[in-house]
Amino acid sequence: MESNFLPSDYFPIVLQLLAAIGFVGLTMLATHLVGPKRKTKDKLETFECGIEQQGDARAPISIKYFLVAILFVLFDVEVIFMYPWAVNFREMGMQGLMEMFVFIGLLLAGFVYIIKKGALDWE
Amino acid sequence: MTGIIIISLIAIVILFLGLYKLDKAIVPLAVAALLAAITSYALAWNTNIYYFNNMLFVDNFAILFSILTIATTILILLLSPGYFEKISSNVAEYVALILFSLVGVLCMVSYNNFSMLFIGIEIMSISMYIMAGIRKKDLASNEAALKYFLMGSFATGFLLFGIALVYGFTGSFNLETISTLVMESGGQAAALFVAGILFMIVGMSFKVSAAPFHFWAPDVYDGAPSLVTSYMSSVVKTASFAAFIRMFIVAFAGVIHIFTPTLWALAAITIIVGNVIALYQDTFKRMLAYSSISHAGYMLIAILALGPDSGNAIFYYAVAYSIASVSAFAILIKVKALKNSESFDAFNGLAKNNPKSALALTISMCSLAGIPLTAGFFGKFFIFTIAINQGFYWLVGLAILNAVVAFWYYFRVIIAMYMKSPSSDEKIEYGFSYKLVLWIAAIATLLFGLLPGILSGLL
Amino acid sequence: MLQLIALVPLLPLIGFLINGIGNKSLSKSLVGIIGSGTMLLSFIISLGIFFELKNSEVSAHTFTFFDWINVGNFNLSFSFLVDPLSSLMLLVVTGVGFLIHVYSIGYMKHDEGFAKFFAYLNLFVFFMLLLVLGANYAIMFIGWEGVGLCSYLLIGFWYKNTSYNNAAKKAFVMNRIGDLGFLIALFLIFKTFGSISFNEVFTSAAKFTSGDPTLTTIAILLFIGAMGKSAQLPLYTWLPDAMAGPTPVSALIHAATMVTAGIYMIARSSIIYALAPIAMDIVATIGMITAVWAALIALTQTDIKKVLAYSTVSQLGYMFVALGVGSFTGAVFHLMTHAFFKALLFLGAGSVIHAMSGEQDMRSMGGLKKKLPITFITILIGTLAISGVPPFAGFFSKDEILAATYNHSMPMFIVMSITSVLTAFYMFRMLFLTFYGNFRGTNDQASHLHESPKSMTIPLIVLAVFSTIAGFVGLPEVFSEHHALKSFLSPSFVFTNGRFSFEAASHVVEYSIMGVSLVVVALVYIYAQKRFAKDVYLLPVDESKMTLMQRLSYRKFYIDEFYENLITKPLDKLSTFFYRVIDKSGIDGVVNGLGKITMNGSKNLRTIQTGNTGFYIFSMVVGIIIIMLLNFILS
């Protein structure tokens, strides 16, 4: 580990920042320049997908959508932890297995809690 | 470390107790778990063990602050029977959230790695964002939660940015590694490193509600349910200060001189803003919110005058302040329930109908004001002593002047209690655990005011 | 036993807590048992400590309980010093305290504030024990202030009476003046020696040369503290007024224990005084003047408790004389015997007042001998003891003081001898006015006359026994090879031993002093009997017929009026002037102005808190920008 860092050491970060912004700008520019321009009514719709849009996007949506969505993300993301564990399964051995059991156990406890609490009941 | 595990597990168990309608068992179980956690911390005294690949370091500093925050939480939980029930039936969730937040607090006071600091702060804060808004139908409570969340995430962003910059300079999150690098650099620091620490100071200043990052505090303290406010103003504040000073004691001690003007200004502005605005408040609760800002200012002085005694001084101050603040909020809750008002007038003549509560509140106000024979006096005394030893005469002068100003608003409630006549003859009814908390608070305040040696030599 | 030292003050504290908290729910008998029981236990432990100390090789033990304040170079531990001096004081405080507690059970039986009274009394004993046991000046000071507080509470115990409250306030203010001296001395000691613990201070003080100005200043300042607490000229006037409190309080606080705190403090600091001859002279002179002054006033007082109060002031003067001439043992000796016989006299007076249904004026008494036989005999013993009749306790202690003054200076010896004649005179006057002749009170009072209950008479008898025999611990050389008390106490005066040597008075002198005192007392007895037993007062009831001397004494040398006119009134005027002119327009203006500015600031600053989150975040950003500027541009 080096002890004297210079501002120039942050150069890669700046580079990446430029690349990120540049990419956005570049693609937007490119689509404008390269893409064909057909200005019909259907083409100017906000969502061009073949189905006509209905009402206002700001209509209140049941809180249950958010609840289910958030819970889905939560449990979905937790699977990520299992990949590195699976890859290192042999190295981590028995201890790793126990730790994963504890993890899954806590996860299941949460899951049971959610179901019991009725968070997934639609009605 | 065992303490963190006990509390986490019991919090989950409590969630399930709520599911099976065992509400009566919740608080006793929580208190028992917290007592067990205190024991486990007390047993770890002088052992100095690292956990999780040096992410946590349970030294005596961490143990003292852990025990203080856990004990304060016990007091607050003892006040809770009958309180949360009135808000909604989700009592188990409330208690569990408080315990989860406490787990965050425990990470914050014993972190040895900036990522752990960040995780601790987030665990603590997210629970508190929810707790501030548990009165779903109450606009003030909703506003408090939303404001706390918005501004909290804004400030956390700065903290994270600061940590990232420091990492960029040192290549490590580990406090001791950083400290070694700082020492090697001989007090010199690159601009980005300084900027990183400044951003961390900003983030922590927000958490301890130091001016000019204090704006959230009065609104949130005022809007949140009083019991939650008492938790925020005691445990959360103590933990934030512990984390704040640990950062400087362990990692940045070598470069603190660079930040002296900043910390000086923060402390001075905080003390002035807190005390002066508190003068003009109409409600007791809002006054306590501003007074809590001013106390943050006094505690900042201990960080500014960093030395071997700083940790001790902050600990003593935090003990005195936490106890007094819990007892003040406890009586506020009862007065609010009786008179349906949080203004100073609601306290008129309290001494006639409820002499013991009036006495308890008087003791707590005297301690907050820093009057001799109460713990608060020695809290201020120790902080001012180390500041004077380091030559911060002007700041101490300013602080003492403001402490005198503070008498005015602390005594306002004492005068209301003893000199004015009550509007009705109703008496406040206390449950056993409520009385217990008030007794403990009063006795502890006087005990630590008479015998500061019990606590002052521990660190 | 020595390990139990912490219990000695702790037990009365527990008693205070129980009686203080449960004062409404506990029955009177339980309160009495708790109050006296804790004292008895304390006394037993003190007794054990005393004998263990007496038989042990090591004479001083320091017990440190915990570090009290620990800041930088200022280290203060909460510790007790048990040495001969403090163990003797322990015995006096707990022993006499216990008897007075028992007595109070009977005396205060009909009072509604019974539990409160015992709670205060226990608290007082706790502080007194702190004062005595403290191993540094800070703990002594806490005890010192604590006993002052309790004394204030107990003088004003019957708080509904305004004049009693005023008496309490007077005691408080007079004591504050003294305390200021003590406090300044304390700071000066810390500054000079870098410590306030007895051991360190005395060890380093012993290395100073005699007459060192710092030591002299400290000694004088400490003495100012002692003057307040131990009621010496000019700060003595609170003590006679303090008689407003219940009689057991007068006995315990204003005769036996608290007022002797000043003596104890000076005896404790003996080395500082030994090296400050000027301070010693001041102590002796003021003690002497006070002794004779108060004795003269006592001659004409008509209130039985006032006579005893002035007598206490006078006897305290004796003790200061002893200290001033370097006879520290003599002072402590007299302190001890005085505690016995003065407590006895006060309690006896209380018994008389009890029988007289609250009457304190001796002009309404008389002929009580037959009705109150036990009280009479015990008071008689007390009177003989205080008058210095051998072999009663007072004789030996007074004899030692007189012998010391005889060595020191002849005029002082003569004045003190005269004082001792005066003492005998006013005490016999009291005795005859009260117990001989015909009853002069109302018929109503006559029908109520009765001997006091056992709980009151037994303490009287025990005290009478001690007043008779306590003197034998300090027999002069003529009777015994060695002075038991002196050799016991000598480790406490290890630094001063040998600095003052008193030649033992020759046997002829001893015997003649004894003979002379017997003859004088006998003469006084005959004169007093002639005069007072036949219902003739020493002074006319009508003030205008008094002689000048009588009037001066009766009016207490006009000292209260003197203070009133010389100090209180001008001070009042001055303060009115300051209040009207300087304060109102000057200081008030500034203070109010500052207050207004602050309040306005508060009002304006408050508006920053708009409630708008956007604004809050904006100001945070401004704050951050300023911080960044402060750090990067300006530096």
Measured CA to CA, the distance from residue A92 to residue C239 in angstroms comes to 85
**Sign of torsion over alpha carbons C542, C544, C545, C551:** positive
Q: What is the pLDDT of residue B37?
A: 95
The pLDDT score that the predictor gives to residue C71 is 60
Residue range B1-45, pLDDT digits in tens:
889 999 999 999 999 999 988 888 999 999 999 999 999 999 999
The answer to whether the peptide bond before residue B212 is cis (omega within 30 degrees of 0) is: yes
Candidates B202, B280, B359, B459, partner chain C, best to mutate (most C CBs within 10 A): B280
Choose the mutation target among B259, B276, B408, B443 for the interface with C, i.e. most C CBs under 10 Å. Answer: B276
- Taking CB atoms and an 8 Å limit, are B19 and A3 in contact across chains? no
pLDDT in the model for residue C297 = 80
Residue C266 one-letter amino acid: I
| Mean pLDDT on C571-587 | 58
DSSP state of B248: I
Per-residue pLDDT for A3 more than 60?
Answer: no
- Look up residue C77 and give its amino acid: S
Strands B56-58 and B49-51: antiparallel
Whether B87 and B225 have beta carbons less than 8 Å apart is answered as yes
Q: Which residues of B touch A117 (CB under 8 A)?
A: 19
Mean pLDDT rounded to a whole number for chain C: 79
pLDDT confidence of residue A2: 45
CB pairs under 8 A between B and C: 96
Q: To probe the interface with B, which of A111, A115, A117, A121 has the most B CB atoms within 10 Å?
A: A117
pLDDT in tens, C251-270: 888 877 888 888 899 888 88
- B155-169, C289-303, C535-549: the lowest-pLDDT one: C535-549
Spell out the SS3 assignment of B416-448: HHHHCCCCCCCCCCCCHHHHHHHHHHHHHHHHH
Cα–Cα distance measured from residue B179 to residue B177, given in angstroms and rounded to the nearest whole number = 5
* Distance from C-alpha of B15 to C-alpha of B93, rounded to nearest angstrom: 6
Cα–Cα distance for residue pair C582/C545, rounded to 1 Å = 48
- How many structural domains comprise chain B? 1
Nearest CA-CA distance, residue B194 and chain C, Å: 9
Residue A1 has pLDDT above 50, yes or no: no
Q: Is the pLDDT of residue C140 over 80?
A: yes
Task: Report the 10 Å Cβ neighbour count for C130.
Answer: 22
The answer to the question of residue A123 being in a domain is: no
C630 contacts in B (CB within 8 Å)? Answer: 261-262, 265
On chain B, the residues whose CB falls within 8 A of the CB of C67 are: 453, 456-457
The mean pLDDT of chain A is: 83
pLDDT band at B316 (very low <50, low <70, confident <90, very high): very high
The whole-number average pLDDT for the span C31-38 is 85
Instruction: Lowest mean pLDDT of A42-46, B95-99, C418-422, C567-571, name the range.
Output: C567-571
The reply to whether B179 touches chain A by the CB within 8 Å rule is no
Q: C503 in the Ramachandran plot: left (φ > 0), alpha (ψ -120 to 50) or beta?
A: beta
Q: List the beta bridge partners of residue C381.
A: none
Does residue A72 belong to any structural domain of this protein?
yes
Question: Smallest CA–CA separation between A37 and chain B, in Å?
Answer: 42
Residue C169: pLDDT band (50, 70, 90) is confident
C617–chain B nearest CA distance, Å: 7
Distances, alpha carbon C601 to alpha carbons B264, B274, B344, in Å: 21, 12, 21
Question: How many CA atoms lie within 13 Å of B59's alpha carbon, on the beta-carbon side?
Answer: 13
What pLDDT, on the 0 to 100 scale, is given for residue C257?
83
Provide the shortest C-alpha distance from residue B178 to chain A (in Å).
10
Per-residue model confidence (pLDDT) at position C81? 87
Residues of chain A contacting B168 with CB distance shorter than 8 Å: 5, 9-10, 13
Chain A interface mutation, best of B9, B13, B15, B167, highest count of A Cβ atoms under 10 Å? B15
DSSP letters spanning B5-46: HHHHHHHHHHHHHHHTT-HHHHHHHHHHHHHHHHHHHHHTTT
Q: Is C555 buried (19+), middle (13-18) or exposed (0-12) by CB count in 10 A?
A: middle
pLDDT higher for A55 or B354? B354
For the stretch B247-305, pLDDT in tens is 999 999 888 888 999 999 999 999 998 988 888 888 999 999 999 999 999 999 999 99
Q: Do B154 and C602 touch (CB under 8 A)?
A: no
Percent of chain B with pLDDT over 70: 100
**With pLDDT > 90 as the criterion, what percentage of chain B qualifies?**
63
Query: Is C577's pLDDT higher than 90?
Result: no
Tell me which DSSP letter residue A18 carries: H
Q: Rounded to whole angstroms, how far apart are CA atoms B156 and B152?
A: 6
> Stretch C616-627: mean pLDDT, rounded?
88
Most C CBs within 10 Å, among B204, B222, B273, B277, to test the C interface: B277
What subunits make at least 3 CB pairs under 8 angstroms with B? A, C
Lowest mean pLDDT among B92-96, B118-122, B173-177, C594-598: C594-598
Q: List the domain range (segments joined by +) for residue B316.
A: 2-456
User: Helix/strand/coil (H, E, C) string of C65-105?
Assistant: EEEEEEECCEEEEEEEEECHHHHHHHHHHHHHHHHHHHHHH
Chains interfacing with A (3 or more CB pairs < 8 Å): B
Query: Of C18, C261, C236, whose CA–CA distance to C129 is shortest?
Result: C261
Closest residue in C to B279 (Cα) is C602
Per CB-CB distance under 8 Å, the chain B contacts of A10 are: 168, 192
Q: Is C612 in the B-facing interface, judged by CB distances under 8 Å?
A: no
Complex ipTM, two decimals?
A: 0.86
In sign, the C-alpha dihedral spanning A74, A80, A81, A82 is positive
Per-residue pLDDT at B76: 95
Of A9, A13, A117, the CB nearest to B19: A117
d(CA C191, CA B129): 54
pLDDT digits (tens, 9 = 90+) for B401-445: 888 888 888 888 888 887 778 877 788 888 899 999 999 999 999
- pLDDT tens digits for B366-403? 999 888 788 998 899 889 888 888 888 889 889 988 88
Task: With CB atoms and an 8 Å threshold, state whether A10 touches B192.
Answer: yes
Q: Is the pLDDT of residue A95 over 80?
A: yes
Decide if A113 and B15 are in contact by the 8 Å CB cutoff. yes
AA identity, residue C259: V
Q: Cβ distance B457 to B64 under 8 Å?
A: no
Of B16, B177, B190, the CB nearest to A5: B190
Task: Answer yes or no: is A41 within a domain.
Answer: yes
The β-bridge relationship of strands B49-51 and C61-71 is: unpaired
Q: What is the CATH number of the domain that holds A110?
A: 1.20.58
When divided into structural domains, chain A yields a total of 1
Domain layout of chain C by residue ranges: 1-127, 136-543, 558-632
List beta partners, residue C77.
C67
The answer to whether the Cβ–Cβ distance between A9 and B185 falls below 8 Å is no
Residues of A in contact with B15 (CB under 8 A): 113
Longest dimension (CA), chain A: 65
Q: What is the pLDDT of residue C73?
A: 59
Q: Name the band, by pLDDT with cuts 50, 70 and 90, for residue C556.
A: low
Nearest chain B Cα to A116, which residue? B19
Contact between chains at C66 and B451 (C-beta distance less than 8 A) = yes
Q: DSSP letter at C579?
A: I
Q: Would the pLDDT of C79 be above 80? A: yes
Whether the pLDDT of residue C473 is over 70: the answer is yes
Q: What is the DSSP letter of C505?
A: P
Q: What is the pLDDT of residues C321-355, one digit of tens each?
A: 988 888 888 888 888 888 888 888 888 888 888 88
Rounded CA separation B346/B226 (Å): 15
Predicted confidence at residue C58, as pLDDT, reads 76
pLDDT of residue C561: 66
CB contact under 8 A, B206 and C620: yes
Residue of B nearest to A1 (CA): B171
Inter-chain contact B261–C630, Cβ cutoff 8 Å? yes
Residue A47 has pLDDT above 80, yes or no: no
Q: Are B156 and B200 in contact (CB under 8 A)?
A: no
